[in-house]
Structure 1
Amino acid sequence: MATISIFVGSVYGGAERLSDEIIEVIEQSNHQARLITSPTVEDVKVASHILVITSTTGKGEIPDNLLSLYSELNSQFPMLAGTPYGIVAMGDRSYGDTFCAAGRSFDELFRDLQAKPLGHRLEIDASEDFEPWPVTEPWLKQWLTKLPK
Protein backbone atom coordinates (compact mmCIF):
# COMPACT_ATOMS: atom_id res chain seq x y z
CA MET A 1 0.00 0.00 0.00
CA ALA A 2 1.33 3.42 -1.01
CA THR A 3 0.67 6.84 0.45
CA ILE A 4 0.33 9.31 -2.39
CA SER A 5 0.93 12.99 -1.65
CA ILE A 6 -1.34 15.02 -3.91
CA PHE A 7 -0.49 18.60 -4.85
CA VAL A 8 -3.30 20.52 -6.59
CA GLY A 9 -2.94 23.75 -8.54
CA SER A 10 -6.28 25.32 -9.36
CA VAL A 11 -7.75 28.70 -10.16
CA TYR A 12 -11.43 28.08 -10.84
CA GLY A 13 -11.76 24.77 -8.97
CA GLY A 14 -11.57 22.29 -11.85
CA ALA A 15 -8.37 20.63 -10.63
CA GLU A 16 -9.74 20.52 -7.07
CA ARG A 17 -12.93 18.80 -8.23
CA LEU A 18 -10.86 16.33 -10.23
CA SER A 19 -8.67 15.63 -7.20
CA ASP A 20 -11.77 14.58 -5.22
CA GLU A 21 -12.54 11.88 -7.80
CA ILE A 22 -8.89 10.83 -7.97
CA ILE A 23 -8.66 10.49 -4.18
CA GLU A 24 -11.76 8.30 -4.14
CA VAL A 25 -10.24 5.86 -6.67
CA ILE A 26 -6.87 5.86 -4.88
CA GLU A 27 -8.55 4.92 -1.61
CA GLN A 28 -10.69 2.25 -3.30
CA SER A 29 -7.43 0.80 -4.64
CA ASN A 30 -6.19 0.20 -1.08
CA HIS A 31 -3.76 3.10 -1.19
CA GLN A 32 -3.80 6.24 0.91
CA ALA A 33 -4.13 9.76 -0.44
CA ARG A 34 -2.72 12.77 1.35
CA LEU A 35 -4.07 16.02 -0.09
CA ILE A 36 -1.66 18.84 0.65
CA THR A 37 -3.37 22.21 0.42
CA SER A 38 -0.51 24.50 1.50
CA PRO A 39 2.51 22.69 0.03
CA THR A 40 6.09 23.21 1.11
CA VAL A 41 9.37 21.84 -0.16
CA GLU A 42 9.49 19.63 2.93
CA ASP A 43 6.15 18.05 1.90
CA VAL A 44 7.72 17.06 -1.41
CA LYS A 45 10.96 15.84 0.17
CA VAL A 46 9.18 13.50 2.60
CA ALA A 47 6.62 12.20 0.08
CA SER A 48 7.01 8.56 -0.89
CA HIS A 49 4.79 9.01 -3.98
CA ILE A 50 3.78 12.28 -5.65
CA LEU A 51 0.82 13.21 -7.83
CA VAL A 52 0.48 16.75 -9.17
CA ILE A 53 -2.89 17.81 -10.55
CA THR A 54 -2.69 21.27 -12.06
CA SER A 55 -4.40 23.61 -14.41
CA THR A 56 -2.48 26.19 -16.41
CA THR A 57 -3.31 29.87 -16.08
CA GLY A 58 -2.96 32.92 -18.27
CA LYS A 59 -0.06 32.53 -20.64
CA GLY A 60 1.20 29.23 -19.28
CA GLU A 61 1.70 30.13 -15.65
CA ILE A 62 1.47 27.81 -12.69
CA PRO A 63 -1.56 28.54 -10.46
CA ASP A 64 -0.77 30.80 -7.50
CA ASN A 65 -1.30 28.08 -4.88
CA LEU A 66 1.52 25.97 -6.43
CA LEU A 67 3.75 28.74 -7.78
CA SER A 68 5.75 29.29 -4.59
CA LEU A 69 6.30 25.52 -4.24
CA TYR A 70 7.58 25.34 -7.81
CA SER A 71 9.86 28.35 -7.30
CA GLU A 72 11.25 27.01 -4.02
CA LEU A 73 11.87 23.55 -5.51
CA ASN A 74 13.63 25.20 -8.42
CA SER A 75 15.85 27.33 -6.18
CA GLN A 76 16.57 24.76 -3.43
CA PHE A 77 16.86 21.86 -5.90
CA PRO A 78 16.37 18.97 -3.44
CA MET A 79 17.23 15.68 -5.11
CA LEU A 80 14.24 13.34 -5.08
CA ALA A 81 16.30 10.22 -5.86
CA GLY A 82 13.80 8.03 -7.65
CA THR A 83 10.63 9.20 -5.88
CA PRO A 84 7.77 7.98 -8.08
CA TYR A 85 5.48 10.68 -9.43
CA GLY A 86 2.68 11.41 -11.86
CA ILE A 87 1.34 14.57 -13.46
CA VAL A 88 -2.23 15.38 -14.46
CA ALA A 89 -2.06 18.60 -16.48
CA MET A 90 -5.18 20.50 -17.44
CA GLY A 91 -5.26 23.10 -20.19
CA ASP A 92 -6.79 24.28 -23.44
CA ARG A 93 -5.02 23.44 -26.68
CA SER A 94 -6.26 26.68 -28.26
CA TYR A 95 -3.55 28.43 -26.21
CA GLY A 96 -0.91 26.85 -28.46
CA ASP A 97 2.58 26.53 -26.97
CA THR A 98 1.37 27.18 -23.43
CA PHE A 99 -1.07 24.23 -23.46
CA CYS A 100 -0.64 22.38 -20.13
CA ALA A 101 2.52 24.39 -19.46
CA ALA A 102 2.16 24.20 -15.67
CA GLY A 103 2.10 20.39 -15.72
CA ARG A 104 4.94 20.28 -18.22
CA SER A 105 7.00 22.59 -15.98
CA PHE A 106 6.50 20.34 -12.94
CA ASP A 107 7.30 17.25 -15.02
CA GLU A 108 10.55 18.77 -16.27
CA LEU A 109 11.53 19.95 -12.78
CA PHE A 110 10.82 16.57 -11.18
CA ARG A 111 12.94 14.86 -13.84
CA ASP A 112 15.75 17.34 -13.14
CA LEU A 113 15.39 16.50 -9.43
CA GLN A 114 15.80 12.81 -10.38
CA ALA A 115 12.30 11.76 -9.39
CA LYS A 116 10.94 8.79 -11.36
CA PRO A 117 7.95 9.31 -13.67
CA LEU A 118 5.48 6.44 -13.57
CA GLY A 119 4.25 6.44 -17.13
CA HIS A 120 3.45 9.45 -19.24
CA ARG A 121 2.10 12.81 -18.15
CA LEU A 122 -1.66 13.08 -18.69
CA GLU A 123 -2.64 16.21 -20.60
CA ILE A 124 -6.34 17.06 -20.62
CA ASP A 125 -7.61 19.43 -23.32
CA ALA A 126 -10.60 21.40 -22.02
CA SER A 127 -11.59 22.33 -25.57
CA GLU A 128 -12.17 18.61 -26.30
CA ASP A 129 -12.84 17.07 -22.92
CA PHE A 130 -15.33 19.27 -21.07
CA GLU A 131 -15.32 16.80 -18.18
CA PRO A 132 -11.80 15.71 -17.21
CA TRP A 133 -12.78 12.57 -15.27
CA PRO A 134 -13.54 10.26 -18.27
CA VAL A 135 -10.01 10.96 -19.57
CA THR A 136 -8.38 10.77 -16.14
CA GLU A 137 -9.94 7.55 -14.85
CA PRO A 138 -8.23 5.08 -17.25
CA TRP A 139 -4.91 6.93 -16.92
CA LEU A 140 -5.17 6.85 -13.10
CA LYS A 141 -6.00 3.15 -12.95
CA GLN A 142 -2.99 2.39 -15.16
CA TRP A 143 -0.78 4.72 -13.11
CA LEU A 144 -1.79 3.00 -9.88
CA THR A 145 -0.68 -0.40 -11.27
CA LYS A 146 2.83 1.04 -11.69
CA LEU A 147 3.24 2.06 -8.05
CA PRO A 148 6.07 0.23 -6.32
CA LYS A 149 4.74 -2.32 -3.86
Structure 2
Amino acid sequence: MRVVILFGTESGTAEFVANDLSDAIAGFDDTIEVDVVDMTDQPVDTIDVAALHLVVCSTYGDGELPASARPFHAGLERERPNLTGLRYAMFGMGDSSYIDTYSHGSEIIDATLTGLGATRVGEYGRHDASGRDAASDVALTWLEGLRANVLLTASER
Protein backbone atom coordinates (compact mmCIF):
# COMPACT_ATOMS: atom_id res chain seq x y z
CA MET A 1 0.00 0.00 0.00
CA ARG A 2 1.22 3.51 -0.79
CA VAL A 3 0.31 6.50 1.37
CA VAL A 4 1.04 10.07 0.30
CA ILE A 5 0.92 12.69 3.03
CA LEU A 6 0.32 16.05 1.38
CA PHE A 7 0.79 19.12 3.53
CA GLY A 8 -0.01 22.77 3.08
CA THR A 9 1.64 25.11 5.56
CA GLU A 10 2.44 28.72 6.28
CA SER A 11 4.67 28.47 9.34
CA GLY A 12 5.84 24.87 9.13
CA THR A 13 3.57 23.25 11.72
CA ALA A 14 1.65 21.21 9.14
CA GLU A 15 4.96 19.88 7.84
CA PHE A 16 5.95 18.75 11.35
CA VAL A 17 2.58 17.03 11.72
CA ALA A 18 2.97 15.34 8.32
CA ASN A 19 6.38 13.99 9.29
CA ASP A 20 5.06 12.71 12.63
CA LEU A 21 2.23 10.94 10.80
CA SER A 22 4.75 9.39 8.42
CA ASP A 23 6.85 8.09 11.31
CA ALA A 24 3.78 6.60 12.97
CA ILE A 25 2.61 4.86 9.78
CA ALA A 26 6.08 3.40 9.28
CA GLY A 27 5.70 1.90 12.74
CA PHE A 28 2.40 0.24 11.82
CA ASP A 29 3.67 -1.89 8.99
CA ASP A 30 6.96 -1.68 7.12
CA THR A 31 5.25 -2.74 3.89
CA ILE A 32 3.39 0.59 3.70
CA GLU A 33 5.28 3.01 1.45
CA VAL A 34 4.91 6.55 2.80
CA ASP A 35 5.83 9.76 0.98
CA VAL A 36 5.57 13.21 2.58
CA VAL A 37 5.04 15.91 -0.03
CA ASP A 38 4.65 19.67 0.26
CA MET A 39 1.63 20.69 -1.82
CA THR A 40 3.92 23.17 -3.58
CA ASP A 41 5.88 20.19 -4.95
CA GLN A 42 2.87 18.11 -6.09
CA PRO A 43 2.02 18.62 -9.76
CA VAL A 44 -1.69 17.96 -10.18
CA ASP A 45 -1.13 15.93 -13.35
CA THR A 46 0.93 13.34 -11.44
CA ILE A 47 -1.41 12.68 -8.51
CA ASP A 48 -1.39 8.92 -7.87
CA VAL A 49 -5.10 8.10 -7.54
CA ALA A 50 -4.21 4.55 -6.45
CA ALA A 51 -2.45 5.83 -3.31
CA LEU A 52 -4.27 6.78 -0.13
CA HIS A 53 -3.65 10.46 0.54
CA LEU A 54 -3.57 12.04 3.98
CA VAL A 55 -3.95 15.78 3.63
CA VAL A 56 -2.70 18.07 6.39
CA CYS A 57 -3.55 21.71 5.79
CA SER A 58 -3.35 24.78 7.97
CA THR A 59 -5.33 28.00 7.63
CA TYR A 60 -3.82 31.42 7.13
CA GLY A 61 -5.11 34.95 7.61
CA ASP A 62 -8.85 35.30 7.19
CA GLY A 63 -9.52 31.65 6.42
CA GLU A 64 -7.23 31.45 3.43
CA LEU A 65 -5.01 28.73 2.13
CA PRO A 66 -1.47 28.70 3.49
CA ALA A 67 1.30 29.71 1.07
CA SER A 68 2.45 26.20 0.22
CA ALA A 69 -1.08 25.04 -0.64
CA ARG A 70 -1.89 27.86 -3.06
CA PRO A 71 -0.03 26.55 -6.14
CA PHE A 72 -1.54 23.08 -5.69
CA HIS A 73 -5.04 24.45 -5.32
CA ALA A 74 -4.58 26.78 -8.30
CA GLY A 75 -3.40 23.83 -10.38
CA LEU A 76 -6.45 21.79 -9.40
CA GLU A 77 -8.75 24.65 -10.32
CA ARG A 78 -6.95 25.33 -13.61
CA GLU A 79 -6.42 21.76 -14.83
CA ARG A 80 -9.54 20.14 -13.30
CA PRO A 81 -8.10 16.58 -13.27
CA ASN A 82 -10.47 13.64 -12.88
CA LEU A 83 -9.72 12.37 -9.39
CA THR A 84 -12.29 9.59 -9.40
CA GLY A 85 -10.82 6.71 -7.44
CA LEU A 86 -8.63 8.91 -5.23
CA ARG A 87 -9.25 8.26 -1.52
CA TYR A 88 -8.05 10.83 0.97
CA ALA A 89 -8.35 11.71 4.64
CA MET A 90 -8.32 15.31 5.82
CA PHE A 91 -6.65 16.89 8.84
CA GLY A 92 -7.28 20.62 9.17
CA MET A 93 -5.50 23.09 11.38
CA GLY A 94 -6.69 26.43 12.62
CA ASP A 95 -7.73 28.52 15.58
CA SER A 96 -11.33 28.22 16.77
CA SER A 97 -11.26 31.73 18.22
CA TYR A 98 -11.81 32.72 14.57
CA ILE A 99 -15.28 31.18 14.48
CA ASP A 100 -16.15 31.88 10.85
CA THR A 101 -12.82 30.77 9.38
CA TYR A 102 -11.66 27.99 11.71
CA SER A 103 -9.88 25.28 9.69
CA HIS A 104 -11.11 26.87 6.47
CA GLY A 105 -7.86 26.28 4.56
CA SER A 106 -8.40 22.53 4.76
CA GLU A 107 -12.07 22.95 3.87
CA ILE A 108 -11.09 24.70 0.63
CA ILE A 109 -8.85 21.77 -0.37
CA ASP A 110 -11.49 19.27 0.78
CA ALA A 111 -14.23 20.83 -1.34
CA THR A 112 -11.95 21.03 -4.38
CA LEU A 113 -10.86 17.39 -4.12
CA THR A 114 -14.43 16.10 -3.74
CA GLY A 115 -15.54 18.38 -6.57
CA LEU A 116 -13.02 16.63 -8.81
CA GLY A 117 -14.30 13.16 -7.92
CA ALA A 118 -12.08 12.20 -4.96
CA THR A 119 -13.63 10.51 -1.92
CA ARG A 120 -12.86 11.53 1.65
CA VAL A 121 -12.51 8.58 4.02
CA GLY A 122 -12.44 8.47 7.79
CA GLU A 123 -13.25 11.20 10.24
CA TYR A 124 -12.35 14.79 9.35
CA GLY A 125 -9.55 15.59 11.80
CA ARG A 126 -8.99 19.06 13.19
CA HIS A 127 -6.48 20.72 15.46
CA ASP A 128 -7.41 23.86 17.37
CA ALA A 129 -4.45 26.14 18.02
CA SER A 130 -6.45 27.70 20.88
CA GLY A 131 -6.56 24.36 22.65
CA ARG A 132 -4.05 22.79 24.99
CA ASP A 133 -3.13 19.78 22.86
CA ALA A 134 -0.17 19.80 20.49
CA ALA A 135 -1.05 19.49 16.81
CA SER A 136 0.93 16.26 16.38
CA ASP A 137 -0.77 14.66 19.39
CA VAL A 138 -4.21 15.40 17.96
CA ALA A 139 -3.11 14.19 14.52
CA LEU A 140 -1.73 10.92 15.91
CA THR A 141 -5.02 10.26 17.72
CA TRP A 142 -6.84 10.98 14.44
CA LEU A 143 -4.47 8.58 12.67
CA GLU A 144 -5.39 5.79 15.11
CA GLY A 145 -8.99 6.12 13.93
CA LEU A 146 -7.83 5.89 10.34
CA ARG A 147 -5.71 2.90 11.16
CA ALA A 148 -8.70 1.07 12.57
CA ASN A 149 -10.98 1.95 9.66
CA VAL A 150 -8.83 2.72 6.62
CA LEU A 151 -5.16 1.84 7.12
CA LEU A 152 -5.37 -1.76 8.22
CA THR A 153 -2.01 -3.43 7.93
CA ALA A 154 -1.61 -6.45 5.71
CA SER A 155 -1.56 -8.78 8.69
CA GLU A 156 -4.84 -7.37 10.01
CA ARG A 157 -6.75 -7.79 6.73
Q: 1:58 to 1:128 in 2, by over 3 A?
A: same
Decide which of 90, 95, 100 is 2:93's aligned counterpart.
90
Deviations, residues 29-53 of structure 1 (Å, cap 9, x unaligned): 2222111231210242555211111
Q: Which runs of 5+ in 2 are unaligned?
A: none
By how many angstroms is 1:72 displaced? 1.1
Q: Which runs of 5+ in 1 are unaligned?
A: none
Q: 1:112 to 1:51 in 2, by over 3 A?
A: same
Pairwise mapping of residues 16-55 of structure 1 onto structure 2 (< 5 A)? 16-30=15-29, 31-37=32-38, 38-46=41-49, 48-55=51-58
- Give SS of 1:34's match: strand
Between Structure 1 and Structure 2, how many residues are aligned? Answer: 148
By how many angstroms is 1:127 displaced? 0.2
4+ runs of 1 displaced by more than 4 Å? none
Q: CA RMSD in A?
A: 1.8
86-95 or 26-35, larger mean C-alpha shift: 26-35
- CA contact under 8 A between 2:92 and 2:105: conserved in structure 1? yes
Q: Indicate the residue corresponding to 2:130 in structure 1.
A: 127
Q: Indicate the residue corresponding to 1:9 in structure 2.
A: 8
Identity %: 27
Q: Indicate the residue corresponding to 1:78 in structure 2.
A: 81
